[in-house]
A and B are shown apart, each in its own frame.
Chain A
């Protein structure tokens, strides 16, 4: 991070066209786009850019693997709503970004990734550390640029930011040859502004569609709102809430939709889909009208399509025209920004009595709620669900939780109740193990005043655990909860249900995570019983630095309910009656 003088100099570059090197133009353009933090890893082909960094008021975080840089930029973007920026060198540096870029693509996260490449003279000759990264990332970016002229750098980066954050957001990669970084050009920030953003020409919100949607809502007896990630992306929380409250329509959420509608709201049903609660999925199957808001009918929320919500008409409000009728054929498509569409729709929605339908759903909750793990007394075992639930209770939900992928992710979604958007950061579409730790670092940089918790499994944590060094080097305060069951738990669960308990390659030997943390100068503690959970969580929270809790939970617990792949949404595998959880319960 530069001094005030460098900040002033950088600011002058933005207002007065100046001759700069390509490397300086990279930073000057980032400053102009409002960037304050970047995550990266240097190397030969990006060295000119690194050499110029000290002249600009941007904080660079050195990662331990470029995948971490992409995930940190992603976590930064998800926590802040701003564009995240990752930087890497050519060849392996660039390819290491790919998993992170794909993660952002599948979840529509705005990223700008900048990579160096070999000089334009040797481009395409298999020079040392050369790779065709624009070719490789073509299907996992919204767009990418190969830049080999200094004067093209600023326009490309400015376009990249516009593309990343517009419409349905996503990652953009800018690959810059070394000679373009070393050359000079007149930097004119204003002149490098891209053409005005062109909205997708197939966006369509017609009078007739709005009227039809309003009519369907008016006449529906059993409507449900399906709220997805688009609620957060388009900041339509208020509009969604108004729609739900005025028309008394219950709201079911996708994984990435969690937080977009308050968990404590009486109309909130909870998460739908593969690991959604039974009443949510039953309600969807019984519904006569689904109002899908900023979600894409992913296979994890629909179950088998042939039997999905057979009685329901469908209204789809979605910003990406390519999502309309992709998985589920809809009756009314309102293709546009969710908030704008809801603003137009709301004046047509009169008050409505939805109490009968809500009562029906409530009644179906009863039996399940009694069996809920939260209501069970301490049996001496440590269950992951208890850990997550206690964490929620102790933090009063006022934390950003960043999860990895697997069983713990689903338990988090079930037992940590999110009131606000951007408080659950998780890889939904791509399901990227190793996401949590680096993404949490990015989230902490975006929201330094917020309490940030990593919840990760013992498997996924080890995929990117080297980023503990980054935490140590940057001296940031993150709390880490490892849900350690000695298995690749979700895969083991599938083997249990669908592969006759053939636990091939899922038992997992891990290092002593507390010692691993200690080796990084990070304090930690192992937790074996439920009685210790609260004290351990409080110790982690009050510790001045990062803290790691190694929760040694039951080894063969499974996530219930579960819809097997290929089954209908109402065909759930329920927690078996001989489950030790229920055996020790008071209600049995």
Chain B
């Protein structure tokens, strides 16, 4: 099964190696890995997606926690969450062939971010399937894809800050925790936003 781990790690040299090395040792291929700044100055946030058994998921999380530079690890199994990926796609296009691509981009709610005589660049944000849908449609059309750059998945749980560890470190949970029924409502609302 696919696991999505969200980890807060110290923002210092070598931490990425330690995290990556743990997966390497278990012979688990990382599908995607994104790292960037988090809401806290000294911490980076990682989203790691990998394919492993359900039992391995527990062990990976427990092993990640054993790394001194890892502050918090969340295994977003089926929990309500929002996942996004960013893709930049460069397509060969001349002034004669552009308009067909413009239409596709419109349908997929992507954007053209660069345009030259021979090519154009599409920026698209969305869930993995949507990005793959655009790539497939481009491939099936007469357009020739020159380059694809994908960020890998970024995932965030819905609702208030769920990290007990970070709250213990003084993280702002945002609004005071919502009562269960309100939380359910909020989740539905954001589900509606995502499905748009």
Among residues of B, the one whose C-beta sits closest to the C-beta of A321 is B62
* A200 adjacent to B62 (CB under 8 Å): yes
* A139 adjacent to B14 (CB under 8 Å): no
* A511 interface hit (Cβ, 8 Å): no
When A139-B25, A163-B68, A325-B55 are in contact, do A202 and B61 touch as well, CB less than 8 Å?
yes
Which residues of chain B are near A201, meaning CB under 8 Å?
A: 65, 72, 164-165
* A5 interface hit (Cβ, 8 Å): no
- Whole-angstrom distance from the CB of B55 to the nearest CB of chain A? 6
Report the bound CA distance from A139 to B67 in whole Å: 11
* A142 adjacent to B17 (CB under 8 Å): no
Residues in B1-49 with C-beta less than 8 Å from chain A? 13-14, 17-18, 21, 25
Which residues of chain B are near A320, meaning CB under 8 Å?
A: 62, 66
* A324 adjacent to B58 (CB under 8 Å): yes
Report the bound CA distance from A430 to B68 in whole Å: 23
Residue interface bits B50-93, CB-to-A below 8 A is 1, else 0: 00000100110111011110001000000000000000000000
* A326 adjacent to B14 (CB under 8 Å): no
Interface size of B as a range: 10 to 19
Which residues of chain B are near A200, meaning CB under 8 Å?
A: 62, 65-66
Which residues of chain B are near A135, meaning CB under 8 Å?
A: 17
- Whole-angstrom distance from the CB of A278 to the nearest CB of chain B? 32
* A146 interface hit (Cβ, 8 Å): yes
* A134 interface hit (Cβ, 8 Å): yes
Report the bound CA distance from A74 to B136 in whole Å: 59
B21, B66, B164, B165 interface centre (most CB from chain A within 10 Å): B66
Report the bound CA distance from A163 to B68 in whole Å: 8
Which residues of chain B are near A324, meaning CB under 8 Å?
A: 58, 62
* A138 adjacent to B65 (CB under 8 Å): no
Interface majority SS (helix, strand, loop, mixed), chain B: helix
Report the bound CA distance from A138 to B59 in whole Å: 19
Among residues of B, the one whose C-beta sits closest to the C-beta of A335 is B62
* B58 adjacent to A138 (CB under 8 Å): no
* A371 interface hit (Cβ, 8 Å): no
* A520 interface hit (Cβ, 8 Å): no
* B65 adjacent to A321 (CB under 8 Å): yes
- Whole-angstrom distance from the CB of B135 to the nearest CB of chain A? 37
Interface size of A as a range: 10 to 19
Report the bound CA distance from A134 to B164 in whole Å: 31
Residue interface bits A320-356, CB-to-B below 8 A is 1, else 0: 1110111001000000000000000000000000000
* B21 adjacent to A322 (CB under 8 Å): no
- Whole-angstrom distance from the CB of B75 to the nearest CB of chain A? 11
Among residues of A, the one whose C-beta sits closest to the C-beta of B13 is A146
* B66 adjacent to A322 (CB under 8 Å): yes
Residue interface bits B138-173, CB-to-A below 8 A is 1, else 0: 000000000000000000000000001100000000
Residues in A195-226 with C-beta less than 8 Å from chain B? 200-202
Which residues of chain B are near A163, meaning CB under 8 Å?
A: 68
B18, B21, B68, B164 interface centre (most CB from chain A within 10 Å): B68
- Whole-angstrom distance from the CB of B166 to the nearest CB of chain A? 11
Which residues of chain A are near B21, meaning CB under 8 Å?
A: 138-139
Which residues of chain A are near B59, meaning CB under 8 Å?
A: 322, 325-326
* A138 adjacent to B17 (CB under 8 Å): yes
Report the bound CA distance from A139 to B62 in whole Å: 16
Report the bound CA distance from A454 to B186 in whole Å: 68
Report the bound CA distance from A515 to B6 in whole Å: 62
Report the bound CA distance from A146 to B13 in whole Å: 10
Which residues of chain B are near A326, meaning CB under 8 Å?
A: 59
Report the bound CA distance from A202 to B165 in whole Å: 11
Which residues of chain A are near B164, meaning CB under 8 Å?
A: 201
Which residues of chain A are near B17, meaning CB under 8 Å?
A: 135, 138
Report the bound CA distance from A325 to B72 in whole Å: 22
Report the bound CA distance from A139 to B55 in whole Å: 22
Report the bound CA distance from A324 to B21 in whole Å: 21
When A139-B21, A163-B68 are in contact, do A134 and B61 touch as well, CB less than 8 Å?
no
19 contacts between A and B (CB under 8 A): A135-B17, A138-B18, A138-B21, A139-B21, A139-B25, A142-B66, A146-B14, A163-B68, A200-B65, A202-B62, A321-B58, A321-B65, A322-B59, A322-B62, A324-B62, A325-B55, A325-B59, A326-B59, A329-B55
| 17 more A-B residue pairs beyond the given contacts A200-B62, A329-B55, with a C-beta to C-beta distance below 8 A | A134-B14, A138-B18, A139-B21, A139-B25, A142-B66, A142-B68, A143-B67, A200-B66, A201-B164, A201-B165, A320-B66, A321-B62, A321-B65, A322-B63, A322-B66, A324-B62, A325-B58
Question: 7 tightest CB-CB pairs across the interface, nearest first?
Answer: A322-B62, A321-B62, A143-B68, A322-B63, A202-B62, A322-B59, A200-B65
